[in-house]
């Protein structure tokens, strides 16, 4: 898979290189899932390669890779889908927009893993250290632009499985989103409707690193290349 582009959900330091196949968090993984975490030596090469690439570039391996590795075929489909939706800046959605959709819908679903990890990614990409926290509490009075508000209104409609109507598309158009943007917003909300529920199934726990990532000014420099 890696030949058709990087498949991950983590920030990547420019110029980083995979130098090792060691997971940085080699401590006992028993607390991050209620299902077994496979040993690296038992993993197929393509999965291992992906995980190492992600870890090397981001500095640590997000637990979702370890937890979902319990089912290799589903792992491949999951990250293939994830990569198509999240790791791009095409259309009218920045990476920060995409992360904000994940935060707003995942808090609706009370998903610990996704809220903590994707609010970290939002802080990195947006360089706004408090907006995700505001959205977590109440996106209705968060310091959002009108465009962001309409984006989240639609994402939440999809998240709740509301019937989508022409009115939704009209509201999106009023702030500049076209039909392909609408698909992106909805597909992200839909994909995380799935992800949130898999996290509930496995009791997936966020890496400790996510809680504070992107909160301090010094972090901003580090991730600067990513948010574009």
Binding interface with a second copy (CB under 8 A): 35, 70-71, 73-74, 76-78, 80-81, 84-85, 107, 109-112, 115-116, 129-130, 133-134, 136-138, 140-142, 158-159, 161-165, 179, 182-183, 186-187, 189-191, 193-198, 200-201, 203, 208, 211-212, 215-216
From the CB of residue 31, how many other CB atoms can be counted at a distance below 10 Å? 10
Rounded to a whole number of angstroms, the minimum distance from the CB of residue 161 to a second copy is: 4
Rounded to a whole number of angstroms, the minimum distance from the CB of residue 69 to a second copy is: 13
Residue 40: C-alpha distances to residues 37, 44, 70, 82, 205 (Å): 9, 9, 11, 22, 19
Rounded to a whole number of angstroms, the minimum distance from the CB of residue 192 to a second copy is: 9
Please, which residue, 136 or 175, has the CB nearer to a second copy? 136
Q: Give the residue ranges of DSSP H helices in 7-62.
A: 45-58
Rounded to a whole number of angstroms, the minimum distance from the CB of residue 114 to a second copy is: 9
Give the separation between CA 72 and CA 129, rounded to whole angstroms.
35
Rounded to a whole number of angstroms, the minimum distance from the CB of residue 118 to a second copy is: 11
Q: Give the residue ranges of DSSP H helices in the chain.
A: 45-58, 63-68, 72-86, 95-108, 112-126, 131-138, 146-159, 166-174, 179-202, 208-212, 217-222
> Which residue in 163, 56, 155, 37 sits closest to 103, CA to CA?
155
Place of tokens 């330091």: 13
Please, which residue, 61 or 114, has the CB nearer to a second copy? 114
Please, which residue, 56 or 116, has the CB nearer to a second copy? 116
Please, which residue, 30 or 163, has the CB nearer to a second copy? 163
Please, which residue, 2 or 179, has the CB nearer to a second copy? 179
């Amino acid at each position: 898979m890696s030949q058709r582009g990087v498949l991950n959900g983590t920030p990547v330091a420019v110029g980083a290189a995979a130098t090792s196949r060691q997971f940085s968090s080699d401590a006992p993984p028993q607390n991050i899932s209620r299902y077994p975490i496979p040993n690296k030596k038992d993993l197929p090469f393509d999965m291992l390669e992906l995980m190492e690439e992600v870890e090397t570039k981001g500095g640590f391996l997000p637990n979702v890779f370890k937890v979902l590795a319990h089912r290799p075929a589903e792992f491949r489909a999951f990250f293939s889908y994830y990569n198509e939706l999240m790791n791009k800046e095409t259309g009218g959605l920045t990476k920060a927009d995409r992360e904000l959709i994940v935060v707003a819908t995942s808090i609706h679903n009370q998903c610990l893993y996704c809220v903590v990890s994707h609010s970290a990614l939002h802080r990195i990409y947006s360089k706004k250290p408090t907006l995700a926290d505001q959205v977590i509490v109440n996106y209705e009075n968060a310091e959002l632009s009108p465009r962001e508000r309409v984006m989240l209104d639609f994402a939440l409609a999809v998240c709740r499985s509301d019937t989508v109507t022409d009115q939704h598309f009209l509201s999106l158009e009023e702030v500049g989103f076209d039909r392909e943007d609408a698909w992106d917003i909805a597909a992200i909300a839909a994909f995380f409707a799935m992800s949130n529920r898999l996290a509930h199934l496995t009791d997936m726990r966020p890496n400790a690193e996510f809680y504070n990532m992107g909160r301090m000014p010094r972090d901003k420099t580090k991730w600067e290349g990513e948010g574009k």
